[in-house]
Amino acid sequence: MNAMNRKLIMIVLIAFVAISGAAWYLVFPPGYPIYLMLPGEQSSVERRVCGAWYPEGSGQWWLIVERGGVLDKELRSATGIKFEIDNGSGLSDVQLAQEEPYRPDPSSIAHALYQGCSRFLVSRSAPAKLTAIHLERRRP
């Protein structure tokens, strides 16, 4: 096999990996779906969020967002929020509860969430702008 054939095979292989990665992202986007009723909208809009139970196994959902970013503003202005609190239980009406700003301390909720988030959902350039928001079931 000559050098030209090896280069061609490498180019095809790299293209295949790139296309497969893009297809995977489109079929299985990162994060969890959250549904927001935004002012002026007729139906809910879906957003993808980075979130986790914290502490692990506690059933307490926390999201991490950029403070003042688009998702943060949408969450705060939403007239209704639906999120699947318990896997397999369906969507629940939730509300924003307490908030914790990012601290570069391993015991920080925001730091723990940041470490586990996809770079597609949470910017890696400015973690100090991040905040963790606790979700709780909306009480009637």
Give pLDDT tens digits for 31-61: 889 999 999 989 999 999 999 888 888 888 9
Q: How far apart are CA 66 and CA 14, in angstroms?
A: 33
Q: In this structure, are residues 116 and 49 in contact, taking their beta carbons and an 8 Å threshold?
A: no
Polymer length in residues for the chain? 140
The structure's pTM equals: 0.76
Q: Which residue has the tokens 């969020």?
A: 49
- 73 token code pair: 């503003």
- 2 token code pair: 């000559």
User: Over the chain (140 residues), what is each successive 10-residue block's mean pLDDT?
Assistant: 80 80 58 93 92 85 93 96 83 93 91 84 84 89
